[in-house]
Amino acid sequence: MKFNTDFLIIGSGISGLSLSLNLSNLVPTERILLITKESLHESSTYHAQGGIACVWNTNDSFEKHIQDTIMAGDGLCNENIVRKIIIQAPERINELIDLGVNFNRNENGEYDLGQEGGHSERRILHVNDQTGQSIENILINNVKKHDNIEIKEKWCAVNLYVKNLKCHGAYVIEQETDEIHNIAAKATILATGGAGKVYLYTTNPDVVSGDGIAMAYRAGAMISNMEFYQFHPTCLYHPYAKAALITEAMRGEGAILKDMRGYEFMQKYHPQKDLAPRDIVSRAIDAELKKSGEDYVYLDIASYKNSEFIKSHFPGIYEKCLEFNIDITKEPIPVVPAAHYCCGGVMAGIDGLTEIKNLFVIGEAACTGFHGANRLASNSLLEGLVGAHECANYLSAHISNLKIREFAEWEPGDAIPSTEAVVITQNWDEVRMLMQNFVGIVRSDMRLKRALKRMNIFAEEIDYYYWNYKVEKNLVELRNLSMVAELLIRCALSRKESRGTHFNENHPNKLELARNSYIKRPW
């Protein structure tokens, strides 16, 4: 079936929802179609705990936030982009407040600003430890009030339709009917998030399989810096605790990392100890686990804060841990590092512009130069807000130049219904295990080369399955996941140094000249 719309937005996190609202306000006569492959709530935004970084009080300054961001980015941030985003932060935050987001306040009625690793000042606005959930709910409620925004849940994008480096829309599966629609649009915006599911251990929800990055790459877009995958130092270690993040804000409030014997260890790795940047903390934990042979370390807040403080500041984590019989007011939390954030992605401007005409990428799927080689904590939601604002302004200013061009319906060819879905599940597990073991926190040339060789085998099997059997969501995700895994490995192999979140034990030093990595589909 064919659909026409003015703007096709793929993804329902903070970037996609904010863009929908901004466009609806700026060009209320235009039609906006927002699709998401599960429910609207199912996004990385919903699971974000810590908050949003923003210069808010007189002790802080834009320059401090800018320098903290650049320091974390380890030589690869685009300073011009960093300045533009950080200076906008208060205005974008006030817009969220106007929409109904109630950030925590202290006893004086002022906003309760948290501090996280890499920040020189307290500047994290938050809603307890469930900031993302609060923002997501507020944005969804406001989006639903706009008549020109149409929402389609359980619609999974398969491929972009690009001709002569101009995007005209996308092919999309309606999961309830298995029908593939072609949606023609004046502009297509990817707000699909990162690719955390490429790793075995991740803080991301199941939907985060690198769809936007893979689709853009297949369409001919430039991909950059995929080797910089940030691992969050503290994910709850439990066989059934799926993607249970333990916010960095807990260390900001005094929690200490300890080994199994109860000894603190971060002082051995960085002057800021437990508040060091995420890549350093993750590597420190990884080193301790390799040395001890244990499966996890402990994060201890119970020894430093009373029960009332812990329950009031971290109610979500308290309840989540209780589900697994862990009382964080009385005992330390078992934690491991887990894949958390994609610092690279599709090369795009702050307004989402890519080299493919009428294709825009915002949020985690984009590589704008804001994060460089390592994202500063709580800068991600901020980038999503600013990117949505800038993209909406660009699209509204250029709406008269944008046209809808319809394209041919999906052609299934001789594809037959799947008879061996076990191929999908087997490859899914193998890709993620391979990436965890060979392309994780600490890498080597040998492991990366072995990973690439195995990925080529997986890609061949997946490609055969894709072209011979009817397309369905799990196959689409697996295809995208394996493609992003290959991009990540190739970018990692091209970097003969250690920088930011990328550490290669064969190249432990940093090169004097900082450079970005680039990869583009050969034609």
Sequence-distant (≥ 6) Cβ neighbours of residue 514 within 8 angstroms: 74, 75, 76, 499
The DSSP-derived string for 188-199 is EEE-----GGGS
Which structure tokens are listed for 368?
A: 């704008």
Cα–Cα separations (whole angstroms), residue 49 to 33, 104, 130, 249, 301: 28, 13, 5, 8, 17
Catalytic residues: 278
Sequence-distant (≥ 6) Cβ neighbours of residue 325 within 8 angstroms: none
Cα–Cα separations (whole angstroms), residue 497 to 216, 225, 302, 452, 484: 27, 13, 39, 19, 21
The 3-state secondary structure of 347-416 reads ECCCCCECCCECEEECHHHEECCCCCCCCCCCCHHHHHHHHHHHHHHHHHHCHHHCCCCCCCCCCCCCCE
- Length reported for the chain: 523
- Inter-residue contact 20 to 218 (CB < 8 Å): no
Each residue of 344-353: b (16+ CB within 10 Å) or e?
bbbbbbbbbb
Which of 480, 486, 484 lies closest to 457, judged by CA? 486
Question: What is the Cα–Cα distance from 388 to 380, expressed in whole angstroms?
Answer: 12
Bridge-based pairing of strands 2-10 and 179-190 is parallel
Sign, Cα dihedral of 456, 457, 458, 463: positive
What single DSSP character describes residue 312?
A: H
Question: What is the Cα–Cα distance from 234 to 500, expressed in whole angstroms?
Answer: 18
Bridge-based pairing of strands 223-224 and 518-519 is antiparallel
Sequence-distant (≥ 6) Cβ neighbours of residue 457 within 8 angstroms: none
Which structure tokens are listed for 132?
A: 């993302």
